[in-house]
Amino acid sequence: MTKTKAYGALDARSPLAALDIERREPGADDVQIRILWCGVCHSDLHTARNEWHNTLYPTVPGHEIVGRVTAVGSAVTKFKVGDLAGVGCMVDSCGHCPSCADGEEQYCDNGFTGTYNGPVFSGENTFGGYSQSIVVKQSFVLRIAHPEAQLAGVAPLLCAGITTWSPLRQWEVGPGKTVGIVGLGGLGHMGVKLAHALGAHVVLFTTSANKVADGLRLGADEVVVSKDPEQMARQAGRLDFILNTVAAPHDLNPFLALLKRDGTMTLVGAPGEPHPSPDVFALIFKRRRIGGSLIGGIRETQEMLDFCAQHGIVSDTETIRMDEINAAYERMLKSDVRYRFVVDMATLG
């Protein structure tokens, strides 16, 4: 085992602080990565504060990891020392259930192992990317084709990117489709960029009137301030698909009313408390659907990373020092992120 510097929480109420963790020595199938950048997902905050009521303490969040390979095991063929590499929300899964066989490891019947807060019901805890290094089996490590100068902006693709890409692909978003993205935070801004790059007509819904210009710059064709009933009414029945990224409980009915017949709203936001129940008649009368979606599989994550490299897509980031993480969480709660905090892991030294 190797002692490794990290940053995490000891309980739900204390601020995050420096702590030491142990990393395993790389086995035959493992890749050891020195972490250069780690994105800050709202899920990190939900977990640090036990908002999903399943946090194992101490917890070391962080699942938007990019870094450089420092060692590989004897059976590793995908990576060599010195390569850039990425790690997202998962580090393992059972490998033999129908979901794993389909490359949808995030839906593993036996429960995938999270990059942090890993096997929640059995086994040892796992520690995430707010740390100097990580050891991950090669089949869960992603290749990075972006130029090295863009690396900080690549980190958020590992969660915010794939979590928006997967439902956009699942629901065949592209030319001729009108797509709503709800919430302009880390996930939402990637949703706007990716839906635009896929060729859809993109309508952004934000509660923050001061984000309208940014929404247009990021690729939205229209921006609607969702608190304004008149602006919302103009969108009634227009949308083929809505991707809802909001991190807090809210009324879903005003958004359901915007879907066409047979339209779908997929929820990816995962608030600690439930949304109020939606109006059943808003669903029945237009055969509308509400769905959900969890990150994406490893194959699909690589596909998204390669698409972003080809199209020059990265996250808009604000880089922070590791010891600024608690202030960053407070700003995230005020929807004051433009549009993803990314920690410079050199500041953990």
By CB under 6 A, name the binding residues for ligand NAP: 41-43, 46, 159-160, 163, 183-188, 206-208, 211, 245-248, 250, 268-271, 293-295, 332, 335, 337
Smallest gap, in angstroms, from Cβ of residue 117 to ligand NAP? 12
24: exposed, middle or buried (C-beta count within 10 Å: 0-12, 13-18, 19+)?
Answer: exposed
Smallest gap, in angstroms, from Cβ of residue 102 to Zn ion? 22
Smallest gap, in angstroms, from Cβ of residue 121 to ligand NAP? 19
Contact of residue 335 among Zn ion, ligand NAP, none (CB under 5-8 Å per partner type): ligand NAP
Taking Cα atoms as reference points, which of 309, 205, 329, 199 lies closest to residue 265?
Answer: 205
Tokens in use for 147?
């130029």
The neighbour count for residue 234, using CB atoms within 10 Å, is: 12
**Residue with smaller CB distance to Zn ion, 41 or 239:** 41
Smallest gap, in angstroms, from Cβ of residue 25 to ligand NAP? 31
The DSSP bridge partners found for residue 66 are 37, 86
**Residue with smaller CB distance to ligand NAP, 100 or 268:** 268
Contact of residue 288 among Zn ion, ligand NAP, none (CB under 5-8 Å per partner type): none
3: left (phi over 0), alpha (psi -120 to 50) or beta: beta
The residue from 16, 21, 38, 41 that contacts Zn ion (CB under 5 A) is 41
How far the first Cα of the chain sits from its last, in Å, is 19
Contact of residue 97 among ligand NAP, Zn ion, none (CB under 5-8 Å per partner type): none
**Residue with smaller CB distance to ligand NAP, 58 or 188:** 188
Contact of residue 332 among ligand NAP, Zn ion, none (CB under 5-8 Å per partner type): ligand NAP
CB contact at 8 A, 204 and 192: yes
**Residue with smaller CB distance to ligand NAP, 31 or 192:** 192
Smallest gap, in angstroms, from Cβ of residue 212 to ligand NAP? 10
**Residue with smaller CB distance to Zn ion, 225 or 267:** 267
Site string for Zn ion, 152-171 (x = CB under 5 A): -------x------------
The neighbour count for residue 343, using CB atoms within 10 Å, is: 28
Smallest gap, in angstroms, from Cβ of residue 102 to ligand NAP? 17
DSSP structural state of residue 9: B
Return d(Cα 152, Cα 184) in angstroms, integer.
19
**Residue with smaller CB distance to Zn ion, 42 or 137:** 42
- HEC string of 136-197 equals EEHHHCEECCCCHHHHHHHHHHHCHHHHHHHHHHHCCCCCCCEEEEECCCHHHHHHHHHHHH
Smallest gap, in angstroms, from Cβ of residue 88 to ligand NAP? 10
The reply to whether 43 sits near Zn ion by the rule CB under 5 A is yes
**Residue with smaller CB distance to ligand NAP, 136 or 192:** 192
- Using DSSP's 3-state secondary structure scheme, residue 131 falls into strand
Contact of residue 126 among Zn ion, ligand NAP, none (CB under 5-8 Å per partner type): none
5: left (phi over 0), alpha (psi -120 to 50) or beta: beta
CB burial readout 169-178, b (16+ within 10 A) else e: bebebeeebb
